[in-house]
Every structure is written in C-alpha cells, then in structure tokens.
C-alpha cells in the first residue's frame, strides 16, 4: 500500500495530481483517468454527431432540397446515427460515469482488469479513427442499420470503413462489460451484499451483461456484411441465394438490447439523484434493482418488433408484440417507484434533480409511446415514420442524455473536486428540457400524419411541424453548449467541494474529492442499507445539537 498522501507542494495527493505528463495519462491504468479519457472522447463525438443533426435539421426547414443534396443528406443522418449510437450513447454512461464510479461505489481500488480497461479505451479510439476516416472519405449512406442488400450490393459509400469502425468499437464495450461484471462480483467491499449495492451498480451490471452477450452477434453480423460486400459471396443478398430478413434478425438481436445498453445506466443515475435530492431511500429498492435485470433478460426476446411489416410471419409478429408489452412492465415499475420516492422527502431542486425529474417525464412519454409501437396494428401505420424517430429520441436524448448530463453534474465534484455554478446549471437544464420537447414532440404528430423518416424532401403540409422541430433543435444546441463553458470554468474557479457536497450516501462520497489514486485510504466496510437518508438526518441533527 502507498503511504504517500500529499504531493511535494503539500496538497492532498489525488488521481489528478498524481502525474501531469502525457505519458501518465496515456499509459494510466487508473479507472478514474480512463473515465476522463473516455469522457473527452465521447464528448468530441457527441458534438460531431450533433453538428450533423444541426445541418439536416436546417435542411428540413423547407420541404424542398435547398441546403444539401439528397446524397449528402443521406450521409448526414446515417453518420449521425452511427456516431451517436456507437460512439456516444453506448459508451457514455458505462465507460465514463460507470468506469469512474463502479470501483468507488463497491469500495474497490480499481476495476478488476485495469490493463484491459485501458485497452478498451484504445480499441474505442481505434474504432473512432476508422469512423473519422470514413467521414473524411465521404461518409456512409446506409442509415445506422446497414440493411442488406442496400449496404452490401447497392451503396456507393464507405460502408466497409463504417463497419470496421463499429466492429472495433464493439470490442471496447465487451471489455468494459467484462470489467464491470467481474468488479461487481469479485471486488465488493466487506459487508456490501447484493441488496446493499447502489442502484447505479445494478443498472450498470445489467447493462454489462447485455454488452457482453449481444455485442458479439453484431460483430459477426457486420463481418458477414463486409464479406458479402467485399468478396461478392452470398450471405444476405437474395440475388445470391441469401435472405435479407436474416440480416434484420441478427442486427436487431443486438440492436434492440442495445437500446437497453443505452437507457439502463441512465435509470441507475436517476435512482441515485432522486434519493440524494429527496433525501429518501429509493422506494421499492428491490423492485427497482430486479427490474433492471428483468429488462436485460426480456430485452433479448423482443427484437422482432422492429420487423412487423418486414414480411416476417404474422404469427412471429404476434409473439414479439406480446413480449414487447411484457418488457414495458419493469420500466413502469421504475417510474412509479421513483415518483413514490419523492413522498415524504425533503426535496431540493438542484441541477441534477432537475435533470432527474426531466428524465422521469420524458422517459415516461418515450416508454408509453413504445407501447403504441408494440401495438401491432398501430405500428403498421407509424413504423418508419417520424413517430418512431420521436419515440426513440425521447428514450435516447430525453432519457439517456438527460441522465448522463445530470449525472455529470451530480458527480462533477467527485471528478474534479469543484462545484459547478448552480444557476448556470439550472438554466441549461431548463433550456435542454424545453428545447428537447419543442424539437421532438412535433415529430410524434408528423409521424402519425404519415411523414416517413429519412426523407430529404417532403410534402408541403408537413412544413409547420418541421419548422417547430428545427426551432427547438437550435434551443437544444444552446443548452448543450452552455455546460461546456461553465464546467470548464469551474475547473479553476468553482467552489471547492469537499468529500460529500450533497451529504449523500454511498461509498463514493466517503473518500476525498477528487479521490486518491487508489480510491480509499482505508478499505471501507459497509454495515447498513443503501440510501439510508433517515440515518443521515438523525446523525446530522445529533451533531447540530
């Protein structure tokens, strides 16, 4: 064990001042530094993907083609999807917040396999470089779904580079998943039983199981697409004896669970923030914890609901529809329990809480519109229209991104040792909430009116709603840019946070902010229930007297 706790300048030694050289960052095996590396990388990709969205939202201001050509438009939305899904949403919470917090929350000094963890970032970076190369040579125009035979036989864009990028990035999420699972199983602090784990851990654990079990299917499917495209040998192309529906089955077998890879960790973040700012234990803790596992399991059985009008048998459609209704139940459990957790609390509307409450509202809408899509006859009408675009953005952006940014604010003091400026935080949270709704709510109506997705030009009657949506997107963009400035500002000027600025429970708050290189000066021991805010209150009132 290291006994050095101060640097030569007499400051407390922590993971940030443990070394300043580039080498100390690029060769680090400290999960906290790797989390920072991931944070920088995915923030970069978030803004790249966001810039593309800005461009095509501008194009959609008018029904005609005026800003970009049809080809450019197709490439923009395809790359927006590829980048946002695989280079932002999938890694966002597990690889940044998860990487940083999982060892802290279970009372471990690092991830189970620190070098694998670093390798996963390099693999991610390599995948990202392929994706950037793909963009530079002209981009990909298949949509993020790579449907065959368009992707294998017809597209004239950089499909192979895109596939290689996603394929490589897939291994980084497999490695992150393996690391989180083993860390949670094997490195928990003494006394930290499964049902004393924070819900963030449960959510990331369930996510990791999906990452480990679903990603390989995507990997091999993409290999087959690449083989068919490069060598012209038949796998999925009907002209060569193949079956394009087989591709869709394999693709969605990964990509539906991938939706849960994106949203489950967000649910974990929200559980933490609700408890901390309502100062109440999460209501129905076991139900919330186990519902994550239920979502992970049932989530593997519903992929066919992306294919109700694809020509798969209608009986298969009925089975998948039934299972899709079932998977809604655990999500409903979570929403009701979060709401109930507010009862009898002592609620403060700090920035993270604003994000958490925004998440509940938007996720509820996203989840409920999922039921419309699970309803076979309604899905026939709204499938591949703006309705579904709105639906998954409510889940992905309204849910996952809100939780992610909220979590970033909540744990910012732990990451950096400084507090972010509260008022700026609230302003941008509110801007994002309203901008988001103005962007995506009109798209529900557009979709039900029948506007198909991925349309570069559209019928004039759809224009009013499209203008609203673009207006909302510009507000949303401002909301996303604000935090960049005030968070950077807070690095030097922010108020010093101290170990536990929110007076929250959880092991991560029992060590210094920022934490020392090996997280805890002394091995923590857990003896009580999670989220025991009643005990915190009693203790504080005793101290005050």
Partner 1 sequence: MENIPLLPDQASTFAADVDLLFFALLGISGLITAGVVTAIVIFIVRYRRGSDAPRGAAPINTLKLEAVWIIIPFVLSMGIYVWAASLYFQMFRPPDDALEISVVGQQWMWKFQHPEGQREINELHVPVGRPVKLLLISQDVIHSFYVPAFRIKQDALPGQYTTVWFEATRPGEYHLFCAEYCGTDHAKMVGTVIALDPAGYQQWLAEQDGGPSVASAGEQLFLDLGCQSCHRPPGAAAEGQRRAPSLVGLFGTSVTLASGETVTADEGYIRRSILNPQAQIVAGFRPIMPTYEGQVSEEDLTALIGYIRSLENGNSENE
Partner 2 sequence: MNERPAALGHPYDDLEQQRDAATMGMWLFLATEVLFFGALFVGYTVYRIAYPQGFSEASRHLDATLGAVNTGLLLTSSFFMALAVWAAGRRRRRLVLLFLLLTMFLGLGFLGIKGFEWYQEFRQNLVPLPGLTFEAGGDFPQQSELFFNFYFIMTGLHAVHLLIGVLLVGFFAVLVWRRTRIGEAFIMQLELLGLYWHFVDVVWIFLFPLLYLLGGT
Window 215 to 234, contacts with partner 1 (CB under 8 A): none
Binding track over 244-283 against partner 2, x by CB under 8 A: --x---x--x------------------------------
> What SS3 state is found at 390?
helix
* Residue nearer to partner 2 on the CB measure, 188 or 279: 188
Could you say whether residue 467 binds partner 1 (CB under 8 A)?
no
Count the neighbouring beta carbons within 10 Å of the beta carbon of residue 361. Answer: 15
Residues contacting partner 1: total by CB under 8 A: 80
Stretch that binds partner 2, among 42-50, 104-112, 477-485, 499-507 (CB under 8 A): 104-112
Contact between 220 and partner 2 (CB under 8 A)?
A: yes
Q: Shortest approach of partner 2 to residue 183 CB, angstroms?
A: 8
Of residues 42, 95, 97, 108, which one binds partner 2 by CB under 8 A? 108
Helices marked H in 375-497 = 376-382, 386-393, 402-416, 422-449, 463-493
Rg (CA), the chain: 23
Of the listed pieces 119-127, 182-190, 319-327, 404-412, which binds partner 1 according to CB under 8 A? 319-327
Residue 499 · residue 513 · CB < 8 Å: yes
Q: Note whether 374 binds partner 1 by CB under 8 A.
A: yes
Distance CA 175, CA 189 (A): 23
One character per residue 520-539, x = contact with partner 1 (rule: CB under 8 A): --------------x-----
Q: Is 169 helix (H, G, I), strand (E, B) or coil?
A: helix
Contact flag: residue 244 with partner 1 (CB under 8 A): yes
Instruction: Single out the residue of 1, 231, 239, 542 in contact with partner 1 (rule: CB under 8 A).
Output: 239
Nearest approach in angstroms of CB 104 to partner 2 is 12
Work out whether the CA dihedral 199, 200, 205, 208 comes out positive or negative: positive
Angle at 45 between CA 40 and CA 50, to 5 degrees: 125
Least Cβ distance, residue 529 to partner 1 (angstroms): 13
Q: Check if the beta carbon of residue 398 is closer than 8 Å to that of residue 429.
A: no
- Asked whether the beta carbons of 177 and 495 are under 8 A apart, the reply is no
CB 302, min distance to partner 2, A: 17
Q: Which of 68, 182, 328, 332 binds partner 2 (CB under 8 A)?
A: 182
* Binds partner 1 (CB under 8 A): choice among 342, 468, 471, 491: 342
Question: Per rule CB under 8 A, is residue 109 in the interface with partner 2?
Answer: yes
Q: What's the half-sphere exposure (Cβ side, CA atoms, 13 Å) at 166? A: 33
Q: Where are the alpha helices (DSSP H) in 137-198?
A: 159-186
Should residue 4 be labelled a site residue for partner 2 when binding is judged by CB under 8 A?
no
Given partner 1, partner 2, none, residue 361, with its beta carbon under 5 to 8 Å by kind, binds partner 1
Contacts of 47 (CB under 8 A, 6+ apart): none
Residue range at the interface with partner 2 (CB under 8 A); choices 132-140, 184-192, 268-276, 352-360: 184-192
Residue pair 93/269 in contact (Cβ under 8 Å)? The answer is yes
The whole-angstrom distance between residue 228's C-alpha and the CA centroid of its chain comes to 31
Could you tell me which residues come within 8 angstroms of residue 442 by beta carbon, excluding any fewer than 6 positions away? Answer: 465, 466, 468, 469, 472
| Residue 41's binding partner out of partner 2, partner 1, none, with CB under 5 to 8 Å set by partner kind | none
40 Cβ neighbours under 8 A, 6+ residues apart: none
User: Where in 27-46 is the site for partner 2 (CB under 8 A)?
Assistant: 29
Out of 68, 116, 126, 471, name the contact with partner 2 by CB under 8 A.
116
Structure tokens at 409: 């604010």
Cβ atoms 389, 81 nearer than 8 A: no
Q: Name which of 220 and 464 has its Cβ closer to partner 2.
A: 220
Q: Which residue from 174, 269, 354, 357 is in contact with partner 2, where contact means CB under 8 A?
A: 174
The residue among 143 and 499 lying less far from partner 1, judged by its C-beta, is 143
- Check residue 498 for interaction with partner 2 (CB under 8 A): no
Helix (H) or strand (E) run with residue 435 in it = helix 422-449
Q: Please state, in angstroms and rounded to a whole number, the distance separating the CA atoms of residues 429 and 480.
A: 9
365-404 binders of partner 2 (CB under 8 A): none
CA-closest candidate to residue 173, choices 117, 224, 135: 117
Would you say the C-alpha torsion 211, 179, 42, 124 has a positive or negative sign?
negative
Sorted by sequence, the CB contacts under 8 Å of residue 133 that are 6+ apart come out as: 161, 165
Q: Binding marks (x or -) toward partner 1, 404..443, rule CB under 8 A?
A: ----------------------------------------
- SS3 state at 449: helix
Q: Is 213 in the site for partner 2 (CB under 8 A)?
A: yes
* Contact positions with partner 1 (CB under 8 A) in 143-202: 143, 147, 149-150, 153-155
Among 27, 233, 459, 525, indicate the residue that binds partner 1 (CB under 8 A): 459
Contact residues toward partner 2 (CB under 8 A) are 1, 29, 103, 108-114, 116, 174, 177-179, 181-182, 185-187, 212-217, 219-221, 223-224, 227, 231-235, 240-243, 246, 250, 253, 518
């Amino acid at each position: 064990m290291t006994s050095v706790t101060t640097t030569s300048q007499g400051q407390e030694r922590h993971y940030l001042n443990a070394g300043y050289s580039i080498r100390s960052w690029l060769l680090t095996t400290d999960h906290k530094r790797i989390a920072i590396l991931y944070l920088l990388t995915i923030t970069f990709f978030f803004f790249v993907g966001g810039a593309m969205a800005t461009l095509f939202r501008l194009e959609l201001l008018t029904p005609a083609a005026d800003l970009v050509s049809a080809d450019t438009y197709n490439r923009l939305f395809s790359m927006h999807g590829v980048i946002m899904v695989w280079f932002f949403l999938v890694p966002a919470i597990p690889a940044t917040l998860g990487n940083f917090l999982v060892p802290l929350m279970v009372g471990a000094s690092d991830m189970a396999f620190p070098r694998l963890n670093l390798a996963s970032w390099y693999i991610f970076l390599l995948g990202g470089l392929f994706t950037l190369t793909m963009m530079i040579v002209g981009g990909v125009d298949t949509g993020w779904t790579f449907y065959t035979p368009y992707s294998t036989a017809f597209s004239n864009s950089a499909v192979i580079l895109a596939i290689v990028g996603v394929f490589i990035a897939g291994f980084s999420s497999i490695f992150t998943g393996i690391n989180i699972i083993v860390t949670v199983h094997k490195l928990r602090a003494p006394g930290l039983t499964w049902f004393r784990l924070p819900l963030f851990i449960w959510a990331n654990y369930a996510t990791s199981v999906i990452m480990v079990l679903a990603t390989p299917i995507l990997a091999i499917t993409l290999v087959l697409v690449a083989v068919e495209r490069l060598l012209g040998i038949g796998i999925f192309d009907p002209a060569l004896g193949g079956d394009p529906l087989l591709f869709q089955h394999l693709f969605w077998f990964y990509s539906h669970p991938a939706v849960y890879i994106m949203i489950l960790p967000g649910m974990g973040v929200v559980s933490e923030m609700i408890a901390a700012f309502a100062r109440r234990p999460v209501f129905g803790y076991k139900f919330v914890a186990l519902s994550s596992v239920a979502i992970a399991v049932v989530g593997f059985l519903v992929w066919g609901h992306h294919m109700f009008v694809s020509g798969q048998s209608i009986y298969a459609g009925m089975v998948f529809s039934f299972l899709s209704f079932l998977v809604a139940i655990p999500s409903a459990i979570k929403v009701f329990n979060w709401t109930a957790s507010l009862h009898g609390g002592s609620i403060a509307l700090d920035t993270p809480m604003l994000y958490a409450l925004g998440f509940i509202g938007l996720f509820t809408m996203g989840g409920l519109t999922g039921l419309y899509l699970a309803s076979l006859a309604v899905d026939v009408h709204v499938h591949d229209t703006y309705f579904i675009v709105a639906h998954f953005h409510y889940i992905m952006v309204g849910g996952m991104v809100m939780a992610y940014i909220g979590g970033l604010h909540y744990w910012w003091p732990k990451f950096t040792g400084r507090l972010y400026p509260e008022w700026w935080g609230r302003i941008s949270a509110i801007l994002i909430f309203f901008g988001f709704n103005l962007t995506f709510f009109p798209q529900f109506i557009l979709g039900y009116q029948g506007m198909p997705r991925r349309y570069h030009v559209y019928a004039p009657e759809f224009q009013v709603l499209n203008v609203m949506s673009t207006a909302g997107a510009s507000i949303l963009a401002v909301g996303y840019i604000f935090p960049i400035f005030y968070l950077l500002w807070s690095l030097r000027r922010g108020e010093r946070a101290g170990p536990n600025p929110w007076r929250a429970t959880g092991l991560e708050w029992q060590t210094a902010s920022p934490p020392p290189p090996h997280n805890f000066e002394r091995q923590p021991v857990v003896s009580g229930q999670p989220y025991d805010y009643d005990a915190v209150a009693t203790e504080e009132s005793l101290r005050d007297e």
